Amino acid sequence: MRPPVQKVSNCVSKKLRNFARGQMCTMQLPGCDRSGETTVMCHIRRFTNTGMAEKPHDFFAYHGCANCHRNEDKAGDDDFLRALIITQNRLYEAGLLGPRE
C-alpha cells in the first residue's frame, strides 16, 4: 500500500488561469472544438489527493475546451498525461512555469 500524499497549501494562480483562456485545447478528445473559444484551465483530479469540491494545484491542469472538460471521464490516463505535458510545455515557453530563482 502506498503512503498517503501529504497535504500542502494549494497553488492558485490567476496568471495560469487567465493564460488558459483562448488557448488550443490540449486534451483533444473526439468532439473537441479545437477553436480555443471555450478553453479554460481544467484541473486533473484523477492522480491527486483532492476530495469532492476541492481543486488540486493549478499546475495539475490542462487547457481544455468545454466539450473535452465535460467528457473527460471518457479519457484514459495517456490522454491526461499528454494534455498535461503539452500544457506544461506551453506554460514553460510563456515563462509561466519554471524554476524559482
Residue at 33: amino acid letter: D
pLDDT of residue 1: 74
What residues have CB less than 8 Å from 43, skipping those under 6 apart?
55, 56, 58, 60, 61
Q: Is 32 a residue whose pLDDT tops 70? A: yes
From 32-41, 54-63, 81-90, the region with the lowest mean pLDDT: 54-63
Cβ pair 33, 25 in contact under 8 A: yes
Average pLDDT, the chain: 88
pTM assigned to the model: 0.83
Cell of 64: 481544455
CATH of the domain at 82: 3.30.50.20
Asked whether the beta carbons of 56 and 74 are under 8 A apart, the reply is no
Indicate if the pLDDT at residue 31 is higher than 80: yes
Q: How many domains does the chain fold into? A: 1
Q: Which domain holds residue 22?
A: 14-48+55-93
CA-closest candidate to residue 28, choices 15, 42, 17, 12 = 42
Q: Is residue 80 part of a domain?
A: yes
